[in-house]
């Protein structure tokens, strides 16, 4: 993602996450599903917002920061999964997600998309 900018091309000033109105969009969910599949996007987003809110961080492009957070979380999860403890065998077939797990994740994501569409319709009706 490019840095956010003003109409005259100057970079936007850094803003706290709450003032900037950070929102997880359908486009961001699609990016996450394609880039970091298997990651719990809602959990990671909550962690991201809570962390930056608690730290009082300011950024000019929160969606780009969110993408970095998710890529880093996926990297850490992969490293944890492949790390071997002394005296223990490495990852086995049992460590891989089952097809049932994959179907459940796909169903949850479909449900989130439907809910997002319903929420958008409610907002349009109230506008």
pLDDT, one tens digit per residue, over 11-64 is 656 777 876 678 899 999 999 999 999 999 999 999 999 898 888 888 888 899
68 and 110 both lie in a single domain: no
Give the single-character DSSP code of 93: G
Answer yes or no: pTM beyond 0.85.
no
Are 22 and 79 in the same domain? yes
**89 domain-assigned:** no
Q: What is the pLDDT of residue 85?
A: 54
75 lies in the same domain as 38:
yes
- CA neighbor of 16 nearest in space, from 48, 62, 47: 62
Domain membership of residue 111 as a residue range: 94-127
Instruction: Check whether residue 27 and residue 68 sit in a common domain.
Output: yes
Count of domains forming the chain: 2
Are 111 and 63 within one domain? Answer: no
SS3 11: strand
Q: Would 41 be classed as within a structural domain? A: yes
Q: How many of the other CB atoms lie within 10 Å of CB of 74?
A: 17
Confidence band, pLDDT 50/70/90 cuts, at residue 2: very low
């Amino acid at each position: 993602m490019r840095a956010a900018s003003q109409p005259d091309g100057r970079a936007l000033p850094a803003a706290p996450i709450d003032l900037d109105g950070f929102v997880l969009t359908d486009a961001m969910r699609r990016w996450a599903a394609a880039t970091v599949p298997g990651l719990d996007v809602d959990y990671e987003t909550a962690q991201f917002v809570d962390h930056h809110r608690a730290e009082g961080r300011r950024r000019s492009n929160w969606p780009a920061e969110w993408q970095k957070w998710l890529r880093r979380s996926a990297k850490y999860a992969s490293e944890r999964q492949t790390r071997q403890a002394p005296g223990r065998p490495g990852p086995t077939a049992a460590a891989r997600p089952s097809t049932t797990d994959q179907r459940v994740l796909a169903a949850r994501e479909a449900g989130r998309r439907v809910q997002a569409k319903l929420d958008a319709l409610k907002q349009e009706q109230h506008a």
